[in-house]
Amino acid sequence: MPGHDIVVIGGSAGALEVLQNILAALPADLPAALFVALHRPDLPLAVDALSATVSKSGGRRVEAAIDGKGIEYGHVYLAPSGSHLIIQRGAMRIEHSPRESRFRPSVDALFRSAAMAYGRRVVGVLLSGMLSDGTVGLWQIRKHGGITVVQRPEEAAFSSMPKEALENVRVDYCLSALQIAGKIAELA
């Protein structure tokens, strides 16, 4: 059986900094592709910030997801502002469909599509943020046999998203940012 080589990460307020810490702590040769949905209107700034972090750790390439592009290990794909990032077998789709959980990009849309396409191979990680986006998606990942990880609410700058997930989904792991990086590496 393949390892957990599809890692989906979602967050909102306070998540970019946490994501930078996670990416910096991951091994450069991680045998996985990472997909990220952040509620941020400034995607180019987020790509630049994450690219700078990753280049310091000698690893992955960070880029905005492109419709129809194939999936490659060692890459971090960010959902474009104003569109959903949808994972299909072997490729990404970018959809400007209705908002989900009040957002576009929606963490739920990313998580759900990954769960449906890759099932047990998926690791879903929910970080800092407000409201409840990501809870339904984590539930879908769990339902399809994937692994669910939530940032510790007491560590999150904004704890609503992690708390909502913990209250409604039987999460596999509730970890600090540095522990999340180690768990992703272990599972991949």
Active site residues: 12, 39, 133
CA pair distance 149, 20, nearest whole angstrom: 17
Give dist(CA 141, CA 145) in Å, integer: 6
Q: What is the DSSP pairing of strand 84-88 with strand 91-95?
A: antiparallel
| CA distances to 5, 122, 162, 169 from 34, in Å | 8, 10, 19, 22
Contact by Cβ (8 Å): 68, 43: no
Residue 31 has φ and ψ, to the nearest 5°, of: -85, 65
